[in-house]
Amino acid sequence: MYLEKDLVFFDIETKSREELFLKIEEFLVEKKYAIKGLGQALIDREKEYPTGLALKGINIAIAHADPKYSLDNKICAIKPQDKIVFQNIENLEKLNIDLIFILLLKDSGNHLNILRTISSVFLDDDFIAAVKETKNSQELFQVLDNYINNVDSIK
């Protein structure tokens, strides 16, 4: 399973995406999902290749780094307490993000498949409404589990 309960964060307090990436790195290294350097790699990659997406009803970011920083194939989901500024992938303008995914993929061959799967659920209005209504990490996990973990293409 790519997305697990311990990889879903709700109301994380952070002032910037850089701070968020470094906080999440500490947790992921401790859990042995990633190695040190992941946070900085995410920061560097985000500067060069922005991942913010303005979608109908929700703004998301799907951050990832070189597979050498991943020890497992996992998806980390973060719904921050306050929106975090990323750059829009389409026009490089600032974009306030509601939900962040961090992809940990030690097998780079799965990268496009996972991106395609995550992107496809964001076309579903029911999914967007359900994510926006979540009030804690358990509810967010349930929504993400139903829509992402149950997709055959990433099992």
Summarize pLDDT for 117-139 with one digit per residue, the tens. 888 888 899 999 999 999 999 99
User: How many Å apart are CA 130 and CA 112, to the nearest integer?
Assistant: 25
- For residues 4 and 134, the answer to whether their CB atoms sit within 8 Å is no
pTM tops 0.85, yes or no: yes
Residue 92: what are its φ and ψ, rounded to 5°? 65, 10
Domain ranges of the chain: 5-154
CATH number assigned to the domain with residue range 5-154, chosen from the 4 options 3.40.50.2020, 3.30.70.940, 3.40.930.10, 3.60.9.10 = 3.40.930.10
Residue whose structure tokens are 């913010």: 52
| pLDDT at residue number 103 | 93
Summarize pLDDT for 54-109 with one digit per residue, the tens. 998 899 999 999 999 999 999 999 999 999 999 999 999 999 999 999 999 887 77
User: How many Å apart are CA 137 and CA 124, to the nearest integer?
Assistant: 21
Beta strands in the chain (DSSP E): 8-12, 52-55, 58-64, 74-80, 84-87, 94-97, 99-104
User: How many Å apart are CA 43 and CA 39, to the nearest integer?
Assistant: 6
Q: How far is CA 26 from CA 18, 20, 115, 126, in A?
A: 13, 10, 24, 33
Please say if the pLDDT value at position 155 is more than 80: no
